[in-house]
Structure 1
Amino acid sequence: MKKIVSVLFFIGLVIVLSACNSGNAQEPGDYDVIDIVWYPNESGNDLKAARDAIGEAIADATGKEVKHHLTTDYAIAIETIANNNAGVAFMGAQGYIESKERNDAIEAIVVTSGASGTLDDAKYHSWLAVNVDEQDDYKVNGEFSLDTIEGKKFSFVSNSSTSGFVVPSNTIMGHFDDKDLTAEDLMEGGPFFSQVLFGGSHQGSAVNLLNGSADVAAFCDSCVDNYVELAEGEENEIGSVYRVKDDAEEPFNTVTGKEFALMSVTPVLNAPFAVNKEVLNEEDINKLIEAFTSDEIANNEQIFVPKDSDMSGLFSKTENERFLEVEDAWFNPIRELSK
């Protein structure tokens, strides 16, 4: 009799726990709020208006309330959507790939086009930069050379960052192919660099360079565009010099007026907006794709900020930039770099 009672108690406990778990789980379609999670790069106060504009567009399209999850760590943002705690995320290609590996329900829906309005030039740029006063230390015969970075203090963004780690680390490993370097070798001081820092965001990595914590830093053009201005040369060209604006907001407010030179520039596939199909239903996902790819959003100056505007934004409008629908396979070149 005691065994029977114990078995019945156990079965009852399982049923109760199962009921509790199912009550916490969010079935697709059974929600009034859509959560969107943002990387640290896009979580700053200066980008609140841009985030809110995206949120309003999502709310208008779906009729649902929108809440913003701001983060200070790439891993938190990736885990938030992979663990069904957000329905939408704006993330780099590498972060998207990592989240999809954790949960196959994660799906990229749109990316920003290039100036042409197509995917042909849907790219931004990964930079390796040095302080302008020290740029000659990184040249061989008058030209910038990666040969000069060994033994230096180096700053990446995060090991989940596409343009702040995956692309630059592959560039470095390819250049020093005779050393048989691995990505792990570049993540800590000793094997190649004297010291390795992680900025936690592209802005943080750039500040690591400008405040003297790092000799060389990896970060991308689009993430620092609101804080810097071209001082010499052409945009996204090796040897060009950028200057931190006098009125730059945090974290650049501590390094205003500082200048850096580009020693390496590499094009990178644009970052996607991704959805979690276990959280959002198909109807709302289709509404999001329709809204994102609409002329209304393409012409929304809070979302696609005119290049000559003083507003801080997520995306720039130089010619025909807009959101375009994208398939998972488009990110395969980044997958190849991660192998």
Structure 2
Amino acid sequence: MKKWFVLMFLFSFAAILSACSADAQSGSGGSDDTLTIAWYPNESGADLKGAREEIGKAVEEATGKKVEHKTTTDYIIAIESIANGNADIAFMGAQGYIEANAKNDKVQPLVVPSGASGTIDDAVYHSWLAVQKEKAESYKDGGEFKIDEIKDKKFSFVSNSSTSGFKVPSDGIVSYFSKMDEYKDLKAEDLLEGGKFFSEVQYGGSHQGSAVNLLTGKSDAAAFCDTCVQNYVELSEGDENTAGSVYKVKEDAAEPFNTVPGKEFTLISVTPVLNAPFTVNTETVSEEDIKSLKETFTSDEMASNENIFVPEDSETSGLFYKTDKERFLEVEDAWFDPIRELSK
């Protein structure tokens, strides 16, 4: 009886393992009939639901598969999801892609949005360091805005996995201050929490959240990017993406800016950043589907789709805007090496 029980247990255990293996295999190589797209918190808001669904529709038409959207409240969730195969496609910043690729080299770039020229040459957005407008004068030196006065202040980043909301601005801060004897040993790690350089450090969890930290007075200065807040703010003074320019929250801005309508902030530093890619897990998506996705995304039809590349003067909230010849382009992994270098 004991031998029979042991044999039955082993047989059942083997059957379970076999079933698990079959399930794992059915979910790889694109054989499943569903593709999951993971989105950062910045793109997970209700106001961007239509934009997400339009991308999903394009993916469905390219592959013939159903799309499920995985919205998130934390960068790490999206990064882990694409790396471990719980998501097949993800829209993420360069730093997030680099982290996912380091965890699993099967995660590769699919496409990136071009610049206004329609080429990769100007495929950048901008990392901002901003302060409240009414306090902006104290960040001037000889008529020019400088970042000297951010030390010992309350500062807000987005996430330490954010390219333009942490990696790029922290590198810029370290490069600037480490030339001074007092801060010659300053490292990016020293900026992660208060007490070493900043009096207090907060994380918005999204670019929108970091901007709201600034506008509600929770922080004195903040890092966030232009593209993630463009649906909520408008230029009030100066030229776009220029130190000294002032932006104002729209009166009808959606959450989380609905609590600070009319509030203004001033840019004290602006840094170009490589555009964010759509990435794909090549272990869970077949070569055939990846080929179809690239063809669809880089097509003239996609570039002219006003639900994806929203006209610049439209009041519709979008992920991408059409100012000239914007479109999606293929890039190789090596294109992101300049961001990798920031971590060395």
The alignment's TM-score, normalised by the length of structure 1, stands at 0.96
SS in 2 for 1:217: strand
Looking at structure 2, the residues matched to 303 and 233 of structure 1 have their Cα atoms a distance apart, in angstroms, of 29
Moved more, 8-17 or 231-240: 8-17
Aligned partner of 1:21: which letter? C
Moved more, 137-146 or 278-287: 137-146
Aligned partner of 1:204: which letter? G
Change beyond 3 A, Cα 1:30–1:196:
same
- Once the two structures are TM-superposed, the CA of residue 105 in structure 1 deviates from its matched residue by 0.8
- Which residue of 2 is the match for residue 60 of structure 1? 61
Aligned partner of 1:184: which letter? E
- Which residue of 1 is the match for residue 331 of structure 2? 326
Query: Which whole-Å deviations, capped at 9, do the CAs of 1:6-36 have from their partners, x for residues lacking one?
Result: 9867864662442243143112132111110
% identity of equivalent residues: 65
Query: Which whole-Å deviations, capped at 9, do the CAs of 1:254-304 have from their partners, x for residues lacking one?
Result: 011000000000000000000011111000000000000001110000100
Query: Which whole-Å deviations, capped at 9, do the CAs of 1:298-319 have from their partners, x for residues lacking one?
Result: 0000100111111100001000
The count of aligned residue pairs is: 338
- Which residue of 2 is the match for residue 116 of structure 1? 117
After superposition, where does 1:245-264 map in structure 2 within 5 Å? 245-264=250-269
Asked whether 1:192 is paired with 2:202, we answer: no
Looking at structure 2, the residues matched to 117 and 92 of structure 1 have their Cα atoms a distance apart, in angstroms, of 20
SS in 2 for 1:338: coil
Aligned residues: CA RMSD: 1.6
- Which residue of 2 is the match for residue 311 of structure 1? 316
The alignment's TM-score, normalised by the length of structure 2, stands at 0.95
- Which residue of 2 is the match for residue 21 of structure 1? 20
Looking at structure 1, the residues matched to 272 and 20 of structure 2 have their Cα atoms a distance apart, in angstroms, of 45
After superposition, where does 1:159-238 map in structure 2 within 5 Å? 159-177=160-178, 178=181, 179=183, 180-238=185-243
- Which residue of 1 is the match for residue 140 of structure 2? 139
Aligned partner of 2:302: which letter? I
5+ residue gaps in structure 1?
none
Moved more, 172-181 or 42-51: 172-181
Looking at structure 2, the residues matched to 250 and 29 of structure 1 have their Cα atoms a distance apart, in angstroms, of 36
- Once the two structures are TM-superposed, the CA of residue 322 in structure 1 deviates from its matched residue by 0.2
- Which residue of 2 is the match for residue 279 of structure 1? 284
After superposition, where does 1:7-156 map in structure 2 within 5 Å? 12=11, 15-25=14-24, 26-156=27-157
